[in-house]
Structure 1
């Protein structure tokens, strides 16, 4: 069971994801300066780095995912989705993913996003994620908090059809103008990982603000 959102405003890209399995942050979400991709369902982890390599070479996200699926002998159990800096989106769900599975794509005034999930309580889960993300587009919430809030909306809508709560969650952000400690966070095993992800984010952001006050000339380097 996984539900996730990939989004970009053309410069920054973000991924928020939760699943009923441990350590999703090391398995599913992947970022390039040119976009964001999630690989989920029966995960083939190398699909993520391969997609990033293609995006780095300026392949569109739809071409990258199509190329990888065509070469995967087990494509019927894969689910991939993502966005790129050129405004393209791509979603793929193999017909042997576990119900309920599916995806949506959408836009705000300045962003493009995809949402996908499998083994969910129903379509309402990904619709709730999408609705929450769009609803916060004109608010003063940070990019990161909007993604976490969208993830929480998916869990509140039912999440995993087996148990409701996820087991792990992650947040990954690419922002070339504002590299931060709180742009790569993981909760690997927790009874309420989305809430814990929000708590860890708040702690990391507070720590980051303290560093900026004490060392205003320092730059936190973040490489991909």
Structure 2
């Protein structure tokens, strides 16, 4: 059972949480068990309000892997997902994990987590940052040796910014192995999500 116990996504429609809020949760509230945050907002500028959520599409996708919640949901309206290529990650990401590896992180600043889907060799990675853009290298050495994986990377676009252009994103497909290192670039307030499936 998931419980909230800290500010959830709905606070973003009431003035908003700072960008470092979800970069703090994995080190605090989430240590005590599943956390109900309800990520997945794509209507970041909020059509019915002058406010906007302090996030990006890439960050919202990454939160499905960063935040552990066996009862996850997509919190936006169906019409905001219809035909949206980035919705494929939400449809694919599981909620039941075999293995969790915290790759890197600093409380309130950034975190990168890789999780293996239970009873499969499928992996999912989420990386988020606070208001500062970040570049880093992601070694995929947690993958099984000798296997080639199909990776789909959902990342912030080059012109993405959580205030000025929060819905800019890009999707890349490539083949990777456990020896691959990816150059990752997170926009200010942004994030990235990666799905990794063994190649048939």
Q: TM-score, normalised by structure 1?
A: 0.30
Q: TM-score, normalised by structure 2?
A: 0.33
Q: Hey, which of these two has a bigger chunk of helix by percent?
A: 1
